[in-house]
Structure 1
Amino acid sequence: MGKPVAWFDITAKDAAKSRSFYSEIFGWKIDVDPQMNYGMIDTAASEGIPGGIGEAGEHSAAGIVLYIVVEDAEATLKQVESLGGERETLPYDIPGIGIMAVFRDPDGNRVGLWQR
């Protein structure tokens, strides 16, 4: 089996509207951190992957990103670049949780990396 998906992000132009939209459609309970304007999604299910909905901004475009578990985000970004992709962010630490990074594949799709 390959590397699993660990997280998903929905980044929206209007995060509050997007949170309301997805909550209404899927019955998601969303706990919003007002300082970050980011909502953690509680799907109340034992299956599936966790995720969140945040606000698009200067450094984050609207869209959906799946974060895939890797052992070494920096090494994976180097491999991405060698295969024709581009890093969008440098690896960054989420204190006490892990390291994240985002790249674009050769078709321009945004994909996230999650290093535990």
Structure 2
Amino acid sequence: MAHPVVHFEIAGSNGEGLVAFYRDLFGWEIQASGPDYWLVTAEEGGIGGGVMQTRDEMPAYVTVYVSTDDLEGSLRRVGELGGETVVPPMEIPGVGLFAMVRDPGGNMIGLFHE
């Protein structure tokens, strides 16, 4: 796969409750990573992810992050193909850059660049 899925994210208004739910349901190893964010450890054959507590009127969601070696170019292509950028490129200190886009069907996905 040219642009693999490299991370997933599950978000809702009760972050700690979601952490407990997925830890108990699947036995996931989940560690606090910052305010209102927890990292899910990747297991063999799978990818790591995150659990996030939403804020204000932000809806609950599940999304994936796809790797790209050209974030700006990918964002231009999203627009050309009928999608839209929802969150412009933002830095994750010490990790990389991400952006969020909506596809023509209304689905949100993240783009990630190391």
Q: How many equivalent residue pairs?
A: 114
Distance in 2, Cα, partners of 1:74 & 1:65? 20
TM-score scaled by length of structure 2: 0.92
- Quick check: 54-63 or 97-106, which moved more? 54-63
Deviating above 3 A after TM superposition, structure 1's stretches of 4 or more consecutive aligned residues are 58-61
The letter for the 2-side match of 1:38 is Y
Distance in 1, Cα, partners of 2:111 & 2:100? 6
Distance in 2, Cα, partners of 1:66 & 1:60? 17
Checking the alignment, whether the CA contact within 8 Å between 1:11 and 1:60 is kept in structure 2 is no
**Aligned CA-pair RMSD:** 1.5
Alignment of 1:65-84 (within 5 A): 65-84=63-82
Report the identity percentage.
34
Q: How big is each residue's C-alpha offset from its partner over 1:5-48, in whole Å with a ceiling of 9 and x where there is no partner?
A: 11111111111111111111110121114x521111125x2221
Q: How big is each residue's C-alpha offset from its partner over 1:69-100, in whole Å with a ceiling of 9 and x where there is no partner?
A: 00111211111011110111001111111110
User: Does residue 30 of the first structure (1) align with residue 30 of the second (2)?
Assistant: yes
The gaps in structure 2 that reach 5 residues or longer are: none
Distance in 2, Cα, partners of 1:52 & 1:99? 16
